[in-house]
Amino acid sequence: MLKGKSIILGITGGIAAYKGAALCSKLVQAGANVRVIMTESATKFITPLTLQTLSRNPVYIDTFDERDPAVVSHIDLADHADLIVIAPATANAIAKLAGGHADDMLSTTLLAATCPVLIAPAMNVHMYEHPAVVSNLELLASRGAMFVEPGTGQLACGYVAKGRLAEPEDIAAAIVSWFSRNGKLAGKRVLVTAGGTMERLDPVRYLTNDSSGKMGFAIAEAARLMGADVTVVAGRTAVSPPAGVRVVRVESAQQMLEAVTGVYEETDIVVKSAAVADYRAVNVSDRKLKKSGEKLVLELERTTDILETLGERKTHQFLVGFAAETEQVEHYAMDKLRRKHCDLIVANDVSKDGAGFNGDTNIVQVFGTEGLVESLPLLSKREVAIRLMELIAGRLTPRGGEGA
């Protein structure tokens, strides 16, 4: 899986730097071309000669140590990397990456990189739990960074707690897992809907919901990382879409319907995670509605059910719907799957802590025609998205043929 892959291994200044050597060795043995970048602090814990010997490549430390006049080293490294791994990643390195600093070889290369980044933090438990570090990790996650969680055990400071660098075997397994995902959906066209729709009452007021778009954007990002050509039709969202996907912005349920049906025929996989309004105002005022009495009565009418429309028109598409429920989750999910001719329904009880709108986590159950397919515990929305797209990719095979 790693044969011929170009991996940059960033090693920063912590006692766990010695594990970076073991990780480097494992990656090279697996066939990867490993280029090591060390911070000055890292060289206090382990010598560059060790990493040079293990990687069979020069080790980079100084941004200004340009060895090849034909290229600018940090740009050349960034341009040719399939993946950047930072292990160990200290609190300082994480802060610099989150803040966009570029004051050494590693941070400069990271700022120039467009490939995915995998971060393996290692630090004292109190540092790991500090609000500044937590905020930096969340910011990096929102930009698409991946993480290998630190383990719990004896720390260099004497504490027995969470914060020790994950074992080299676990980090290597995470790297292999990422590359195995990459390409599973190559050649497939994926359509994702995200966010909430807005139904205007007048020029300044509208009906909407609490959807942030985080789940839909996470799904789009996971599909892109697996090699798909991804289009996102997005309503109102609270976060920025991932890089590398085509984004079509809409406002109302009708606009979303038109955007989705416009590309449906050439789409292979549809994941409809947007929270679409069920009703809209019968009459939309072109002027701001003024107060006139103690009560205001609005007349609403049903919007077109987008998922049902797609199900009725389905030919070769693999159709996935979402069901946000507060009770009888399985009953409503299976009913929705059958009525709307879906291949999968992703259901969650939004009344549970960690599973509602706006958060960074979710708890979902995935249903197919045979019933419950997979039940996922509390996970980050990115991990839920990855697991969902892997499940979809696996279920394409039995359908067979082009554009399954």
Question: For residue 42, what is the DSSP state?
Answer: G
pLDDT of residue 232: 96
Catalytic residues: 157
At 337-351, the pLDDT tens digits run 999 999 999 998 888
At 245-262, the pLDDT tens digits run 899 999 999 999 999 999
Q: Is 1 within the bounds of a domain?
A: no
Q: Is 175 within 8 Å of 81 (Cβ atoms)?
A: no
Token pair listed for 385? 């998205």
- Whether 112 and 241 map to the same domain: the answer is no
Domain housing 174: 6-181
- Whether 150 and 210 map to the same domain: the answer is no
What stretches of 275-331 adopt beta strand conformation (E)?
Answer: 279-281, 300-302, 318-325
Q: 217 labelled as ligand-binding?
A: no
- Whether 169 and 313 map to the same domain: the answer is no
Q: 336 labelled as ligand-binding?
A: yes
Residue 40 pLDDT more than 80? yes
The C-alpha atoms of residue 271 and residue 390 are separated, in whole angstroms, by 13
CATH code of the domain in which 63 resides: 3.40.50.1950
Phi, psi of 139 (to 5 degrees): -65, -45
Q: 314 labelled as ligand-binding?
A: no
Q: 288 labelled as ligand-binding?
A: yes
CATH code of the domain in which 247 resides: 3.40.50.10300
The C-alpha atoms of residue 279 and residue 289 are separated, in whole angstroms, by 19
- Whether 148 and 280 map to the same domain: the answer is no
Residue type, 217: F
Helix (H/G/I), strand (E/B), else coil: 227: coil
Q: Is 404 within the bounds of a domain?
A: no
For 373-397, give the DSSP string: EEEEEEEEHHHHHHHHHHHHHHHHH
Name, in order, each residue with C-beta under 8 angstroms of 97's C-beta and a sequence gap of 6 or more: 86, 107, 110, 117, 119, 136, 140, 145
Confidence of residue 154 (pLDDT cuts 50, 70, 90): low
pLDDT of residue 400: 42
If one counts the domains in the chain, the total is 2
Residue 116 pLDDT more than 60? yes
Q: Is 262 within the bounds of a domain?
A: yes
